[in-house]
Amino acid sequence: MDSIKTKRIIQIQEYVREHQTVSLDELCRVFNVSKNTIRRDVQQLIERGEVVKVYGGVAAKGSALVSFSDRQSRNMAQKQRIGRKAAEFVSDGDVIFVDSGTTTLHMAEHLKHKNVTVITNNIDFIVRALPHRNLNVIAIGGMLERETNSFITFNVNLLNHYNINKAFMASTGISVTNGVTNASPLESEIKSAAVNRSDRVYLLVDGDKFGKYGLMTYCGLDEIDCVITDREPEERYLDWFRENGVRLVVAAEEEA
């Protein structure tokens, strides 16, 4: 193997490790080589066990789509605080979209006394809503995605039939450059449709998600009205939110 190729493969490995999940197109742009060259380089890293293949790109080992149960157990207290705070923005009579995810799931407990129509593909949220007749649940059906405990529909246009007041969204990571991202390509289209259809969009993310991004961007940060998190992010995010009119809400520990 020539020295230029060896060096490039090492750099690709480091780039993927730093960014966790990247597309092949991004690697082509960053390293200024053809897609065929990137595919060959990436294949070597896959065969060596340095990275794993995901839809449309590669991920650092251990950063591909994590199972729902594993994600649910991470940062549990933070997720509960964020879910509780998000529910405060829901009023009687609202039509809301609740995204799949382990953070949005924690809204359910705090909505049980409100009269709300909930559109969702989040299976665990649907189960938690079952005892509460005041929650009118419209489930988005489709294929079962076991990794995220959600339904994946191939007819996202059905969301266009609903007038959604507020969407409560989840994300695998957010950044100024890559926007709001997700690790599952199958879910990203649903997320984009929900954002586009909603009057107001709330993003529920724990503090660990800032500066990270997944494989696909489903909306820009400028499409978010309010970010609800458990601690303040870096100053550059605070500046960006102020300049672009995005409200930041921090669910403090004492509110739990």
**Residue bearing the bigger pLDDT, 113 or 6:** 113
Number of domains observed in the structure of the chain:
2
Last residue of a domain, one of 19, 40, 60: 60
Which residues 6+ apart lie within 8 Å of 85 measured at CB? 228, 249, 251, 255
CA-based nearest residue to 143, from 135, 134, 152, 133: 152
Summarised one tens digit per residue, pLDDT across range 212-221 is: 877 788 999 9
Q: Identify whether residues 157 and 94 lie together within a single domain.
A: yes
- With pLDDT > 70 as the criterion, what percentage of the chain qualifies? 91
Last residue of a domain, one of 40, 60, 80: 60
Is residue 73 pLDDT above 70, yes or no? Answer: no
Q: Identify whether residues 162 and 203 lie together within a single domain.
A: yes
pTM: 0.75
Q: Identify whether residues 39 and 98 lie together within a single domain.
A: no
Residue 252, helix vs strand vs coil: coil
Is residue 162 pLDDT above 60, yes or no? Answer: yes
Lowest mean pLDDT of 8-22, 108-122, 133-147, 183-197, name the range: 8-22
Distances in whole angstroms, Cα of residue 118 to Cα of each of 121, 193, 252:
10, 16, 26
pLDDT of residue 1: 52
Q: Are 173 and 20 in contact (CB under 8 A)?
A: yes
pLDDT of residue 254: 58
Q: Identify whether residues 9 and 134 lie together within a single domain.
A: no
- With pLDDT > 90 as the criterion, what percentage of the chain qualifies? 52
Residue 109, helix vs strand vs coil: helix
Q: How many whole angstroms separate alpha carbon 70 and alpha carbon 193?
A: 27
Is residue 11 pLDDT above 90, yes or no? Answer: no
Q: Identify whether residues 126 and 102 lie together within a single domain.
A: yes
Is residue 18 pLDDT above 80, yes or no? Answer: no
What does the radius of gyration of the chain's CA atoms come to, in whole angstroms? 19
Structure tokens given for 109 = 């407990």
* CATH assignment of the domain containing 47: 1.10.10.10
* CATH assignment of the domain containing 136: 3.40.50.1360
